[in-house]
A and B are shown apart, each in its own frame.
Chain A
């Protein structure tokens, strides 16, 4: 069971291709190279260009300012507080996603009559767009008409956590599906072997199931972190960055700087977010990969 497969060691010794083979290989790669070039690499290039320029206050003209804009923007209070909010958002949502996904998946990973219904219910949030789920969540916790009436979104101390609840809820389906798939890939006979070795259900889970789920958790941690750093629709629907800027995450700040006079600033912040996200993913990979158990046999 792998979500990624690490290339076997033997293929790392590269074979030389003949000219014709290489040509065919590049021809096969061309379509995806074109797509990436148009939709990813060129925009990235344009973003860097923009980050190096500063607009006048009306946004009618811009001049080249070089990297000076980077230092000023990246050290600004706006960027740093946005980054802090985003980081907190990740810290709130990721562990909850892992735990909740595991709890749901373990309870659904039984051969019970009617379990499919629960699996469908648990999965339903996957098919729901963030905006829609945020609206539902907004109504759910509305202080006047909601089922869980709370003022959490109006309290600057708690608003960020409140918004993250909606993400946790929206992520639930994804976490559930991924962990359930991981559970189902754990060979039955390993659990049976642990049973006969003498371990009870809880220790079987800790000793056998959890280690074998580690690739699943690595995947979820990376994906949920990226989701967290990029959370935007929830904030727009629920708080618009308020109250008192308590839910102004980095992405929200970036969006707000999409005015003609702030384009360069927004570009720098976007690059900042890109680097932060990439670094987070890289760190997660390097730390966790050593502990991850891929495949079994």
Chain B
């Protein structure tokens, strides 16, 4: 077992920069997921750790050893390939035994020098690993006689058998069907807990990343965007890329400008969303990225273009009827929070365990619009705050989102037991201000508004 450290590593192919000054420390025994869209450089990073690619610049360490010039076979790593890369002409048993045939290794109960294993020792190890992964009955088969899931397990077995210091996995589940993927996901996590070996796992699937990782490293365009445990990167995205990449559907983002008149707020179209001081940003998160983000951000001041973000599940919705009967104050009482935005239900997608309601955001302030129009008798659905409404603000067209009447849409998620509003109904959206995220429009970096609040308000 060993840590893996990338220190300012860059990989260029001619003019193309695949990995751009990446520094990442993977701790010993950690399951680190490299997450990003295809072509972001995550696989290149993995291949540089494996030694299949040379780093153009920077230092790669496995444990304390600099491995830039070490051949792959002497790095003591194993890799699981996306296409499994099983030898088609060899049986499962010989596939698994392959690293044992090639490498010298430490032997249980023996101190000191590494050596090649004897035939019986190899057989024992292969049988142990086969038992661990439920492959005993398949040892005599050729890979062509295996299902996708079985091939996947053989590939895992081949990686495990040599007991390397680090496992590298390159989208190992992407060729499996959805059901098998979920199952294998669990198996890899179990395996990690049992073996305790460092795993670096590349995927473009954010669900895999969130469910499996000890920590996630988000990568875009060859640059590391944020590193942190799943909850901290989900709850406190360091920038817009991370905010939009994680979560299904992605975080809703709406463009606006900072206003400091009457307390800190964001003006979106004709509406001002106030940003009350919150303890939010003082919660634990990855200090390093947060510091970096704040450093490049500068001051929050009047007129600064920003992006307001909020996740679907943090939104609550109140239907038009209630608003008609009472006022936004009534709604506020019901939800416990100040109204955020008003909009019209564009359409509703029923998914069984939940519904996704797409709300087109209007320009008027909450309550100012004629709540009655467009909401027919049956559409006056009272969605009260007592219901655990999972609301989604869809990203929609966030470009030009601050123009009144533009088609910014927000998705709101409702639980299965909640009644969905009809299309055309006017609804008001609420959210706990602690769940509002603020990003700089120009740089995309997270803005921590509470720390700037005093400065902004005192002027």
B167 CB, min distance to chain A CBs, angstroms: 11
In the complex, which residues of chain A have a beta carbon less than 8 angstroms from the beta carbon of B19?
Answer: none
How many contacting A-B pairs (Cβ < 8 A)? Answer: 71
Q: Determine if A190 and B87 form an interchain contact, defined as CB atoms under 8 angstroms apart.
A: yes
Is A200's beta carbon under 8 Å from chain B? Answer: yes
Q: Which residue of A lies closest to B73 (CB)?
A: A198
B48 CB, min distance to chain A CBs, angstroms: 13
Is A11's beta carbon under 8 Å from chain B? Answer: no
Is A157's beta carbon under 8 Å from chain B? Answer: no
**Residue from A192, A203, A214 with most neighbouring chain B CB atoms (10 Å):** A192
Is B52's beta carbon under 8 Å from chain A? Answer: yes
Q: Determine if B81 and A192 form an interchain contact, defined as CB atoms under 8 angstroms apart.
A: yes
B97-105, B418-426, B429-437, B444-452 - interface stretch: B97-105
How far, in angstroms, from A212 to B90 measured CA to CA in the complex?
Answer: 11
- A187-B85, A293-B89 known; A198+B79 contact, CB < 8 A: no
Q: Determine if A192 and B52 form an interchain contact, defined as CB atoms under 8 angstroms apart.
A: yes
How far, in angstroms, from A109 to B102 measured CA to CA in the complex?
Answer: 24
Report A173-226 residues with CB < 8 Å from chain B CB.
Answer: 187, 189-190, 192-200, 203, 207-208, 211-212, 214
Q: Determine if A199 and B73 form an interchain contact, defined as CB atoms under 8 angstroms apart.
A: yes
In the complex, which residues of chain B have a beta carbon less than 8 angstroms from the beta carbon of A192?
Answer: 50, 52, 79, 81, 85
- A203-B102, A297-B144 known; A196+B88 contact, CB < 8 A: no
In the complex, which residues of chain A have a beta carbon less than 8 angstroms from the beta carbon of B77?
Answer: 196
Is A296's beta carbon under 8 Å from chain B? Answer: yes
Is B294's beta carbon under 8 Å from chain A? Answer: no
Q: Determine if A197 and B81 form an interchain contact, defined as CB atoms under 8 angstroms apart.
A: no
In the complex, which residues of chain A have a beta carbon less than 8 angstroms from the beta carbon of B79?
Answer: 192-193, 196
**Residue from A196, A200, A214 with most neighbouring chain B CB atoms (10 Å):** A196
Q: Determine if B102 and A189 form an interchain contact, defined as CB atoms under 8 angstroms apart.
A: no
Is B364's beta carbon under 8 Å from chain A? Answer: no
Q: Determine if B144 and A196 form an interchain contact, defined as CB atoms under 8 angstroms apart.
A: no
Q: Which residue of A lies closest to B52 (CB)?
A: A192
Q: Which residue of A lies closest to B82 (CB)?
A: A189
Is B158's beta carbon under 8 Å from chain A? Answer: yes
How far, in angstroms, from A189 to B85 measured CA to CA in the complex?
Answer: 6
In the complex, which residues of chain A have a beta carbon less than 8 angstroms from the beta carbon of B144?
Answer: 295-297
- A198-B102, A198-B103 known; A193+B73 contact, CB < 8 A: no
In the complex, which residues of chain A have a beta carbon less than 8 angstroms from the beta carbon of B98?
Answer: 194, 197, 199, 207
Is B78's beta carbon under 8 Å from chain A? Answer: yes
Q: Which residue of A lies closest to B79 (CB)?
A: A196
How far, in angstroms, from A199 to B116 measured CA to CA in the complex?
Answer: 13
In the complex, which residues of chain B have a beta carbon less than 8 angstroms from the beta carbon of A212?
Answer: 88-89
A253 CB, min distance to chain B CBs, angstroms: 42
Q: Determine if A193 and B81 form an interchain contact, defined as CB atoms under 8 angstroms apart.
A: yes
Is B247's beta carbon under 8 Å from chain A? Answer: no
**Residue from A189, A193, A207, A296 with most neighbouring chain B CB atoms (10 Å):** A193
Is B72's beta carbon under 8 Å from chain A? Answer: yes
How far, in angstroms, from A214 to B90 measured CA to CA in the complex?
Answer: 14
Q: Determine if B102 and A197 form an interchain contact, defined as CB atoms under 8 angstroms apart.
A: yes
- A189-B83, A192-B81 known; A197+B89 contact, CB < 8 A: no
In the complex, which residues of chain A have a beta carbon less than 8 angstroms from the beta carbon of B78?
Answer: 196
How far, in angstroms, from A51 to B382 measured CA to CA in the complex?
Answer: 101
How far, in angstroms, from A197 to B72 measured CA to CA in the complex?
Answer: 9
Report B62-108 residues with CB < 8 Å from chain A CB.
Answer: 72-73, 77-79, 81-83, 85-89, 98-99, 101-103
Q: Determine if A211 and B89 form an interchain contact, defined as CB atoms under 8 angstroms apart.
A: yes
- A190-B87, A293-B88, A297-B144 known; A195+B73 contact, CB < 8 A: yes
How far, in angstroms, from A199 to B102 measured CA to CA in the complex?
Answer: 5
- A195-B72, A196-B72, A198-B102 known; A187+B83 contact, CB < 8 A: yes
Partner of A296, one of B72, B82, B88, B99: B88
Q: Determine if B85 and A193 form an interchain contact, defined as CB atoms under 8 angstroms apart.
A: yes
Partner of A297, one of B52, B88, B101: B88
In the complex, which residues of chain A have a beta carbon less than 8 angstroms from the beta carbon of B87?
Answer: 190, 193-194, 207-208, 211
How far, in angstroms, from A193 to B81 measured CA to CA in the complex?
Answer: 8
Report A254-271 residues with CB < 8 Å from chain B CB.
Answer: none
Report B206-260 residues with CB < 8 Å from chain A CB.
Answer: none
A207 CB, min distance to chain B CBs, angstroms: 8
Q: Determine if A196 and B89 form an interchain contact, defined as CB atoms under 8 angstroms apart.
A: no
How far, in angstroms, from A195 to B82 measured CA to CA in the complex?
Answer: 16
How far, in angstroms, from A278 to B101 measured CA to CA in the complex?
Answer: 41
In the complex, which residues of chain B have a beta carbon less than 8 angstroms from the beta carbon of A187?
Answer: 83, 85
In the complex, which residues of chain B have a beta carbon less than 8 angstroms from the beta carbon of A297?
Answer: 83, 88, 143-144
How far, in angstroms, from A189 to B50 measured CA to CA in the complex?
Answer: 13
A94 CB, min distance to chain B CBs, angstroms: 23
In the complex, which residues of chain B have a beta carbon less than 8 angstroms from the beta carbon of A200?
Answer: 73
Footprint of A on B, CB under 8 Å?
50-52, 72-73, 77-79, 81-83, 85-89, 98-99, 101-103, 143-144, 158, 162
Could you write out 18 A-B pairs with CB less than 8 Å apart?
A189-B82, A190-B87, A192-B50, A192-B52, A193-B79, A193-B86, A193-B87, A193-B158, A194-B98, A195-B52, A197-B158, A203-B102, A207-B98, A211-B89, A212-B88, A295-B88, A295-B144, A297-B144
Footprint of B on A, CB under 8 Å?
187, 189-190, 192-200, 203, 207-208, 211-212, 214, 293, 295-297
Given contacts A193-B81, A193-B158, A196-B99, 16 further A-B contacts (CB under 8 A): A189-B85, A190-B87, A192-B52, A192-B81, A193-B85, A193-B86, A196-B50, A197-B99, A197-B158, A197-B162, A208-B87, A211-B87, A214-B89, A293-B89, A295-B144, A297-B83
Q: Which 8 A-B pairs have the closest CB atoms?
A: A198-B102, A198-B73, A193-B85, A198-B103, A189-B85, A293-B89, A211-B89, A296-B88
